[in-house]
Amino acid sequence: MTLETSLSSGPTLRSSRSSGLIDTRSHRALRDSELLALSWLAPLLLVVAWELAAHLGWIRPQVLPAPSTVVATAWKLLANGTLFEHLGYSMLRAAIGFAIGGSIGFALGILVGFSRLAEALLDRSIQMIRAIPFLALLPLVIVWFGVDEAGKIFLVSLAVMFPIYINTVLGIRQIDLKLLELAKVTGLSLRGRITKIILPGALPSILTGVRYALAVAWLALVIAETIATTKGIGFLAMDAREFLQTNVIVLTIVIYAAIGVLADSAARALERRLLAWHPNYAKGERR
């Protein structure tokens, strides 16, 4: 093979390799889209089966109303503004509680993660509080805060704090010690080690804690809104229970589920954005 032939075949070879890479990526994208569609197939079939069973009389409306009835109820509550009002109160409580609890959990996690002394002083007490059931705290919360908003926000904050705290500590402790030794040898300052190695390395674990905390926040809110209140999705469910309005109860459950899915999707998007440098979170390679 002459030099000219080699030179002329080089670009062709590179072009074919590039084309193959593009094809591989397109096939991967196609598989991802198919998996996404498949993930919604089971819920869709469940709703169809539920609707069919309700129309055939296999399920009594007093036990479980048809999805079409739940949708009609949602439309009615949206039209008169009731649903937006209750949802707004619940979202506000969840947001404030998440901000407070998340900040405290992150700060304590950083402190305990970096200091064995702080771990000895704080960790056991935090774990003891974490083990207390929420329902056992309700009487004490009412004594402390009454039935105002502060008690509800306190319960949400407390629930959110623990997953973020635990995952922050875990992420910091899992940093490869060889990287820290290398940074020390190369003369990287303490601030540089924290901002360039420790926190980025701990970020996947911290964001996992955020995802879990988002789910726990709504669970805590359901309990918190059982305290004497007249606003919120939890109140809407409790009020519907008193009047045996199963359609409203099912609607509140669907709302909680939808908010949970949307919150988790937002957390996943945040992961992809903040961890774009991480090979396990690269675009097109997500699990």
DSSP characters for 103-160? HHHHHHHHHHHH-HHHIIIIIHHHHHHHTS-HHHHHHHHHHHHTTSHHHHHHHHHHHH
Distance set, CA 117 to CA 112, 177, 253 (Å): 8, 19, 44
Q: Band of the pLDDT at 28, cuts 50, 70, 90?
A: low
pLDDT at 281: 63
Residue 12 carries which side chain, given as an amino acid letter? T
- Judged against a pLDDT cut of 50, whether residue 46 lies above it is answered with yes
pLDDT at 23: 45
Query: Global pTM?
Result: 0.75
Q: Band of the pLDDT at 1, cuts 50, 70, 90?
A: very low
Determine the average pLDDT of the residues in 118-126: 91
The CATH topology of domain 67-281 is MetI-like fold (1.10.3720)
pLDDT tens figures, 58-68 = 888 778 888 88
Determine the average pLDDT of the residues in 220-246: 82
Contacts of 102 (CB under 8 A, 6+ apart): 160, 161, 164, 210, 213
Determine the average pLDDT of the residues in 102-111: 93
Helix (H, G, I), strand (E, B) or coil at 277: coil
Contacts of 118 (CB under 8 A, 6+ apart): 111, 112
pLDDT at 107: 93
Q: How many C-alpha atoms does 256 have within 13 Å on its Cβ side?
A: 21
pLDDT tens figures, 171-183 = 888 887 777 777 7
How far, in Å, CA of 105 to CA of 115, rounded?
Answer: 15
Site of tokens 């890479």 = 21
Q: Band of the pLDDT at 162, cuts 50, 70, 90?
A: very high
- Judged against a pLDDT cut of 50, whether residue 259 lies above it is answered with yes
* More confident of the two residues 156 and 26: 156
Q: Band of the pLDDT at 233, cuts 50, 70, 90?
A: confident
- Each domain of the chain, given as residue ranges in start order, spans 67-281
Q: Rounded mean pLDDT of the chain? A: 80
Determine the average pLDDT of the residues in 135-144: 83
Q: Contact, 267 vs 160, CB < 8 A? A: no
How far, in Å, CA of 277 to CA of 198, rounded?
Answer: 15
Site of tokens 């509140």 = 252
Burial (CB < 10 A; 0-12, 13-18, 19+), residue 276, is exposed
Tokens of 85: 């009002």
pLDDT at 283: 52
Crossing angle between the packed helical segments 246-274 and 233-242, to the nearest 10 degrees: 160
Determine the average pLDDT of the residues in 269-281: 75
